[in-house]
Chain A
Amino acid sequence: MKWAPTLGVGLWLAASAVAQEPELPPGLGQPPAAQEPRRPTPQQPAAPDEPALPTGLESGAAAEGPRAEPSARSERAWARPKGFVDLRAGARTQSDPLQRDLSLAEARLRLEFEHAFDRGVLRFKPDLVADALESSQSVDLERGRGFLDLREGSFATSPLPFLDLKVGRQVLTWGTGDLLFLNDLFPKDWVSFFVGRDEEYLKAPSDALKVGMFGAGLNFEVVYTPRFDPDRFVRSERLSFFDPLAGRVIGRDVAFAPEVPDRWFRDDEFAARLSGNFGGHELAAYGYWGRWKSPGGFDGVSQRPVFPRLGVYGASARTQFAGGIANLEVGYYDSRQDPGGADPLVENSQGRFLAGFERDLPQLAAHLTVGAQYYLEAMLDHAEFRRTLPTGVPERDELRHVLTLRVTKELLEQRLRVSVFTYASPSDRDWYLRGTVSYAIDDAWSVFGGVNWFGGRRDFTFFGQFEDNSNVYLGARLAF
């Protein structure tokens, strides 16, 4: 009698211990033919908490059997193109007498076709675009205007084990900066970037041949662009900006028509990179021989902006550091048509420097990433620049300092993503804030919104000149 309470406790303990043990899952039980009594099936656990042996783990179950699980792959439907539909609209947050109030109003259908042969892969990615803010819908593939924007049309092959070739229209990126580019001289689309298109459109496609050679721990890549691919630079029909010759911010009131060099094999570009990954430390050296990618000069005869010749030589390093990613990059911009800096109509040579650091901050919050960069643009031959500066043209500083800060937070099981990227220049006293919010309704649909906010003390600095282009936008995308 006096044992009863103890026994009761003991039974309870035993029961609770048993209650935690999982039943063996399918695959972990005894085989049907085993001499021992059969393990409980998953439906009859030995104890509520113990897992049943999963099928496949029974003793002696090692015989290869038919697969119980169907393939995890969705059926591959090559015939069905992939892509998305993207609708977005945006408006200026202040009135700009030189521009329309709408900053963005377009619909895009992206299609992606890919076909793999034994010898290579063909890719074709057209965007069909209806852009309410473009006056003409006629197609200009170079500038990405009109109803068709071809993002990719390429053939990639590896004729030798150490050699990769990719020829045709392709998007190209290298370098270590986060939305800052020193040694990446591939074309950018600044209009897309500033008006709130998806970030992928910051990179405009190149029409080029890319050759990669890999071996001995080093990679060597060369990109040859037979006809100059400029940036899709800011245009006065869409964005207002400072024109040094007009001495003011211009917009739709002034036609901006740079002279783009377009002779095949003569107005060409070379870009090269030598890189290696040494136990997680990534090092690279770069070279570029071409032209300023956005207008970097002015032709006094034709009275049009031009793209003077440019050589860029640089290096970068990227590695893990203090729980995050640290990067360093330098570049020397050799403005080859203005070697001494005495030509007021051509950009001076520059030295560029970038240091960055990014890491997660789980200590502060889950799914929070913070990144900061310091960027320096040093005009060389600044004394010559000052000496030859035409009257009335504002003087730029010798050193332009830019700090960037990126904060990204994901919420609701990564359905909601909030990101703020800020450029701020203490020397120019101007800034540019990019804020984006996106929400994935399901695997196909997402909605998003964003802001592009420019400001500054003076109207001729890099970001300050865009002040009246500040905008907000909204959109939705269906991916398929």
Chain B
Amino acid sequence: MNRMFPWLVTVTLAAAAAGAQNEGPAAAPALAVEAIVANANRVSYYQGRDGRAQVRMVVVDAQGRERTREMTILRLDVPAAAAGSGDAKGGDGKRGDGEAPAAGAGKAPAAGDAAANPAPADDAHCGEQKFYVRFRQPADVDKTTFLVWKKPGQDDDRWLYLPALDLVKRVSSADKRSSFVGSHFFYEDVSGRHVAADTHELVETTKNYYVVESKPVDAKSVEFAAYKMWIHRESFTVVKVEFRDAAGEVYRRYEVLGVETVQGRPTVTKARMSDLRSNGSTTVTYSEVAYDLGLPDEVFTERYLRREPRQWLR
């Protein structure tokens, strides 16, 4: 799940990072691979309680032809208590304003005390999430909107809003490993792959990285045979991922090209996914990243597909 597109990647646990740093990598106690992967997953997909980013993807094919996609992405973590309760109504707004900033903002800069506890207290936040993706470019998809209710371990709920027809279309999500809007990122890279879908093995610990090798539990459901992640030891940022096929050949590579600190959270701001067979690649840039905006649950409903939530998209 971690190898995905760390959209809104941050270090929730600056505290954990600080702890590791104090002890020094050499002296750090061995961390179970499950904890490493769980942390990396959280850092890649669950920083803050919600977030927003302006996203630009530049897709380059083997002939060097460029296409550009621009979108605003809003993300909201569903509190564990509410997840799967079966009531998806908008606007009851129980999550939110009180709790989120306190937990999010309070924790990040406060180093030290969490050093012994790299697994964060809010692990519940690695569950269901909602994504709202509003496209601006290319021109023919302007205002087209994609709504995802991500359910780890199950098929996500997805809707596509086509403004020219005022049509809210429900879309199938069986094919998670297909291209996201023609880019080299897959849907699963965007919203995250379930941690339990793969087995993970810590193969090496270097000065900067945990190197984790992962293999699919259900090999037939995916196109890769294995992938290797380089996870930054201090921040748990996934810095590089290489996917290998059955012959052991690396055919797909994800690389982080830039990280910035946003509201105390190191955040991936530039990354590239390369298809080494076709020689195409997609570079994604995140800007204007913000966390803990207090996004209401209601934004992630049909009402706001038909009527854009300007206040939150800015």
Contacts and interface: CB of A to CB of B under 8 A. Distances in A.
Contact of A53 (B90, B208, B263, B267): B208
A27 B258 contact: yes
A44 interface: no
A263 interface: no
Contact of B54 (A72, A171, A282): A72
Nearest to A66: B260
Contacts of B11: 62
A383 interface: no
B286 interface: yes
B1 to A, nearest CB: 19
B87 A360 contact: no
Interface in A46-60: 46, 50-51, 53-57, 59-60
A327 B159 CA distance: 14
B213 to A, nearest CB: 11
Contacts of B89: 216-218, 276-278
B226 to A, nearest CB: 13
Contacts of B263: 64
Interface string B52-75: 011110010100010110100000
A299 to B, nearest CB: 33
A116 B256 contact: no
A62 B255 contact: no
Nearest to A318: B170
Interface stretch (B32-40, B95-103, B133-141): B133-141
Interface residues of A, number: 91
B109 to A, nearest CB: 7
Interface string A431-460: 000000000101110100000000000000
Interface in A144-170: 156, 158, 164, 166, 170
Given A61-B261, A62-B261, 12 more contacts: A17-B204, A21-B209, A27-B259, A28-B259, A54-B270, A57-B235, A67-B287, A70-B287, A73-B54, A277-B88, A279-B87, A477-B140
Interface of A: 17, 20-22, 24-28, 39, 46, 50-51, 53-57, 59-65, 67-74, 82-84, 116, 121, 156, 158, 164, 166, 170-174, 176, 199-200, 202-203, 212, 214-219, 275-280, 282, 318, 320, 323-325, 327, 358-362, 366-367, 369, 413-415, 440, 442-444, 446, 477, 479-480
8 contacts: A25-B255, A27-B256, A28-B232, A53-B208, A71-B54, A72-B54, A203-B165, A320-B157
| Smallest CB-CB A-B distances: 6 pairs | A27-B259, A217-B89, A56-B259, A72-B56, A360-B175, A414-B182
